[in-house]
Each structure stands twice: as structure tokens, then as C-alpha cells.
Amino acid sequence: MPTAVATFAAGCFWGVEDVFRQVPGVLDAAVGYMGGEKDHPTYEEVCADETGHAEVVQLTYDPDVLDYNVLLSVFWQVHDPTQVDRQGPDVGRQYRSVIFFHLEEQRVAAKMQIAMLNESGKLRRPIATSVEPAMRFWRAEEYHQRYFEKNGIRHCRIEVVEETAEDTRADN
């Protein structure tokens, strides 16, 4: 079976991972760090803004079952892409919105969707999401993997983030 990789930064990685794991065609999801300068970053260093990394979810998916554009649609729904360096109550560069592309086709698809969303008139502010080449993925500490599943705690709930995203729509 062929597989492909997608990496997204959309705020607190616990909630984002939880949502993407439910998408048919996603074979695996891991949380970690990407986009910074420091090798082998720790959660504490990332949260202290000592690394430049964002919290990310890296997905392995079956491209015969799941189109990358569907993953992008989920990405737009799980956070407010108009916020800069924050998502809901979580503030800092590690919570920035980034699409890390692994293939040129992913970059093109991301740029096209950003243009369409910005031109749609559905958002009060332009999308702040950056589109960047994927860098080395640093897997987060094991206690962060499948965090909601293991702990039953919905700390950075997607529902809160979705309310924030609703507030950016032009018809509010």
C-alpha cells in the first residue's frame, strides 16, 4: 500500500492529533515539533520559545483512500487560520498556523486553498497560515502521543478553537 506524509501546525497538538486520527485513510498520527532551529527539542524548550519550533501533527495516510485536499479541509476546520502565533487561549510562536509541505503538489494545493478562502469573503481577516517546506520532524515525548486517548482530558478542546474560528467569519 502506498503511503504519503502530511504535517500541520494548528495550535495545541493534542486536539489536532485527536481530530485527524478520526479521518478515514489516516494510518497514523504523531505529535512533535518542526520549523525551528534546535535539534532534539523538548516540550519545555518549545513552550519557552527557545527553539523556534511549532507544535505539529505528522500524518501518514493512504493517498489512494484520502486526498490531500481533504486533509487541508480538516486543517482549516480545527483551528482559526487568521490568528497569528496563537490559537484560542494558547499564545506563542509554537501555536502558529503552518502547512509544512513534503511535495510540490502539497504546496500548490495549500496555496490554492488559501487564495480561495481569502477570496471567499467568509473571513473577516486574511489567513495568516504560512506554507513552508517540511523540515526534520522531532517526535514529541511519549506522554504527548495519543494524549486525549490516554488521559481522557480534553485540555485544548477543538470546540473552543472552532468558536474562535466562527468569530472570524464575515457574517457574524
On whether the CB atoms of residues 59 and 74 are closer than 8 A, the answer is no
Q: Which residues contact 26 (CB under 8 A, 6 or more apart)?
A: 20, 59, 60, 61, 66
Residue in 9, 10, 12, 99 annotated catalytic: 12
Q: Is 12 labeled as catalytic in the residue annotation?
A: yes
Of 95, 82, 119, 4, nearest to 46 by C-alpha is 95
Measured in whole angstroms, the distance separating CA 46 from the mean position of its chain's CA atoms is 16
Question: Which amino acids are annotated catalytic?
Answer: 12
